[in-house]
Amino acid sequence: MLEIKKFKDPILRKKCLEVKLTDEVRSLINEMKETMYAANGVGLAAPQIGRSERIAVIDIGEGFLALVNPKIIKKEGSAIFEEGCLSFPGIFRKIKRAKKVKVTALNEEGENIEIETSGFLACCLQHEIDHLDGIIFLDRLSQLDKIKDKFKKCLKKY
């Protein structure tokens, strides 16, 4: 199992580079898959394990997805999802995201795939692709939610 980087690690803020699908990348995908399952997660992006490649894995209970060089090519609507993150254990927040997305990527076999989906899978795809762009889910909080979080911290302090 790989080590999952936590919230203060600077790699979580790095934009990842596209990769060529090689045996090394396939091996990394398998290690990421094992790490995600061992941590009871539904998604894991390469920066979360200290790598700066555009690779993510997802399984929301509908089957395993490996995404190499994923891109969101279409977004529609908006929805609020409660999200957590393996790099931010115990923190869950309601985040506004696109309700429906279309994503292109390569799978672990090197095949071009296109996923058009809504609901929880759309949320997970956006969350993991954000990681690949150096964006963490807390960056997506509304200003009001950020102020509420700061206020709660102040209250605990006093």
Q: Could you say which of 53, 83, 108, 128 is catalytic?
A: 128
Number of H helices, E strands in the chain: 3, 7
> What is the C-alpha to C-alpha distance for residues 39 and 17, in angstroms, rounded to an integer?
25
Nearest to 18 by CA among 67, 56, 52, 69: 69
Contact 49, 55 (CB under 8 A): no
Distances (CA, A) of 82 to 14, 94, 151: 24, 4, 20
Distances (CA, A) of 23 to 34, 37, 50, 110: 17, 21, 19, 11
Start-to-end CA span in the chain (Å): 40
For this structure, is 128 an active site residue? yes
Place of tokens 């309700």: 99
Active site residues: 128
